[in-house]
Chains A and B, each alone.
Chain A
Amino acid sequence: MSNTPNIQTIFFYILTKGLFATLALTALGLLIGFAIGLLLALMRVYGPTEIGWFASGYEKLFRGIPVLVLIFIFSFGIPGLFSYLEPLERPIAGVILALGLRSGAYQSQIFRGAILSVNPGQMEAARAIGMNGFQSFRHIVFPQAIRLAVPSWSNEYAVVIKDSSFAYGVGIIEMTRVAFDIAANFPLLMPLSMAIVAIIYLIFTYPVTKLFGERQTKKLKDFGMGGG
């Protein structure tokens, strides 16, 4: 990068050096968030009151703390948290955990709403043919709830991919970091570099959520399950 890079080079550079990390942080964060969110939703919908309080407390806690603060806490704030990892890997694990724990608090709301939107008659009919509670959820309620959740869930994906840029704060080389490094080497390119990384984030958010949202809403209509 000794010569001043042109637009294509900046695009190429951000994509090759940063895209994979951004997508990996996002995917793992969403995955952890999915597991936590589904569990919390189940606790709130089907669990006894006390368990519901716990879930609701978790949501309040992780929705009330800025994601950058969470990232610092889980990357450096808890000594020995990821002591079995190489020092350079610890912030990566910290970011994934922070994104996941926080996304779980939001995904919980998504799944809770989706489960509650499934007509109670579905559970009743399942129990009436002899399914136990777990089977009724697994085979009847859950498949419908997941479909109902897709539009909001694709929104959550957009939130997490954007929040993954906070990984910059603990030195992880993802798209934002790459864009900033270009600007650091060629200060005049700061506006261009930031514009390009902004466009890349946009490409990975808006069309995806729009596509998922619209396709799923149409599908739900075909199922007669209302729209998301």
Chain B
Amino acid sequence: MDKNVLNVVNVWKAYDELEVLKGISFELAKREVKVIFGPSGSGKSTLLRCINMLTPPDKGEIYLSGQNLTAPGVDLNAMRAKIGMVFQHFNLFSHLKAIDNVSVGLRRVKGFKKEEARAKALDALHQVKMTEWAEHYPAQLSGGQQQRVGIARALAMKPDLILFDEPTSALDPELIGEVLQVMLDLAKAGTTMVVVTHEMGFARAVASEMIFIDQGVVVERGTAEHFFVSPESERVKHFLRQINILYGHHEELLKEINED
């Protein structure tokens, strides 16, 4: 268990009467990219929020590099600093420039001096090709640019893993490519990632394993190859067909990206 970056063990979560997660388990090794997908309302976002304890699970355990986050007395702030999170709606800090969005955690959480934090933040912005936009406010950036800053904000903290919560689903189609490109680069550079997404091209390119979740349980898991060639459950087959209708056009885009 200790060699895994993340262990999710039998996690349950209910909102009032509504059972959202019903015993989810999976594990994540270093440098692994895990893609989680499934219909909306299946509990994917809740699962991510349980992992960094923004929404503590009702039952079950989350282990980060062997340390149980669900145990009482854990310094959750310190633990969250080791888990990056990229949001569907970016959630950039509106009153801060791109550079300050990235450096604020370095300064306030990690305690770096202003100049040092700035240098590290610029590095992170460079990784997502946003250096020249450093002095812009979020409202002055496109959705794709905002999401890249969001990724830089997570990267700058040098986390053990990064959680992506449908990072491209709030973007206009023409802006999805630039964000996926950044994520592909990160995956290929060995970043440990859990990605909730319906971008099957991305999954096919870099996922070490895909997990299909429906109604709060893991229905099926396997490699991308397995899902595209021989999915077992009817629910998965049906879902993939629908996804293909909706998202199929990105396959071409990703092919181009991969050939670059």
Q: Interface residues, chain A, CB within 8 Å of chain B?
A: 119, 121-122, 124-132, 135, 139-140, 143-144, 147, 222-225
Question: A124-B54, A222-B139, A223-B137 given as contacts; is B94 within 8 A of A129 (CB)?
Answer: no
What is the chain A residue whose CB lies nearest that of B109? A130
Stretch at the interface among B32-40, B80-88, B118-126, B197-205: B80-88
What is the chain B residue whose CB lies nearest that of A123? B91
Interface secondary structure of A, over-half rule: helix
Q: Point out the residues of chain B lying under 8 angstroms from A222, CB to CB.
A: 137, 139-140
B52 at the interface (CB under 8 A from A): yes
Q: Point out the residues of chain A lying under 8 angstroms from B3, CB to CB.
A: none
* Contact-residue size bin, chain B (C-beta under 8 Å from the other chain): 20 to 34
Query: Are B93's CB and A129's CB within 8 A?
Result: no
Q: A222–B138 Cα gap in the complex (Å)?
A: 10
CB distance from A12 to the nearest CB of B (A): 44
CB distance from B101 to the nearest CB of A (A): 9
Q: A39–B83 Cα gap in the complex (Å)?
A: 33
Query: Are B87's CB and A125's CB within 8 A?
Result: yes
Q: A6–B108 Cα gap in the complex (Å)?
A: 61
**B94 touches which of A124, A132, A225 (Cβ 8 Å):** A225
Q: Point out the residues of chain A lying under 8 angstroms from B80, CB to CB.
A: 127-130
Query: Are B77's CB and A223's CB within 8 A?
Result: no
Q: Give the one of B54, B78, B79 with max A CB within 10 A.
A: B54
Query: Are B85's CB and A128's CB within 8 A?
Result: yes
* In the A-B complex, the 7 residue pairs with the closest CB atoms: A224-B139, A130-B81, A129-B105, A125-B91, A121-B91, A130-B109, A128-B85
A to B CB contacts below 8 Å, 20 in the list? A124-B87, A125-B85, A125-B91, A125-B92, A127-B80, A128-B52, A128-B84, A129-B85, A130-B81, A130-B109, A131-B105, A131-B109, A139-B104, A143-B95, A144-B93, A222-B140, A223-B137, A224-B137, A224-B139, A225-B139
B89 at the interface (CB under 8 A from A): yes
Query: Are B77's CB and A125's CB within 8 A?
Result: no
Per-position 1/0 for B121-141, Cβ under 8 A of A:
000000000000000011110
Q: A140–B92 Cα gap in the complex (Å)?
A: 10
Q: Give the one of A124, A130, A131 with max B CB within 10 A.
A: A130
Query: Are B138's CB and A224's CB within 8 A?
Result: yes
Q: Point out the residues of chain B lying under 8 angstroms from A129, CB to CB.
A: 80-81, 84-85, 104-105, 109, 153-154, 157
CB distance from B257 to the nearest CB of A (A): 28
Query: Are B95's CB and A121's CB within 8 A?
Result: no
Q: A139–B81 Cα gap in the complex (Å)?
A: 16
Q: A147–B93 Cα gap in the complex (Å)?
A: 13
Query: Are B85's CB and A121's CB within 8 A?
Result: no
Query: Are B153's CB and A130's CB within 8 A?
Result: no
Query: Are A130's CB and B94's CB within 8 A?
Result: no
What is the chain A residue whose CB lies nearest that of B93? A140
What is the chain B residue whose CB lies nearest that of A222? B139
Query: Are A139's CB and B108's CB within 8 A?
Result: yes
Q: A139–B100 Cα gap in the complex (Å)?
A: 11
**B95 touches which of A125, A131, A132, A147 (Cβ 8 Å):** A147
CB distance from B165 to the nearest CB of A (A): 10
Q: Give the one of B84, B91, B95, B105 with max A CB within 10 A.
A: B95
Q: A222–B139 Cα gap in the complex (Å)?
A: 7
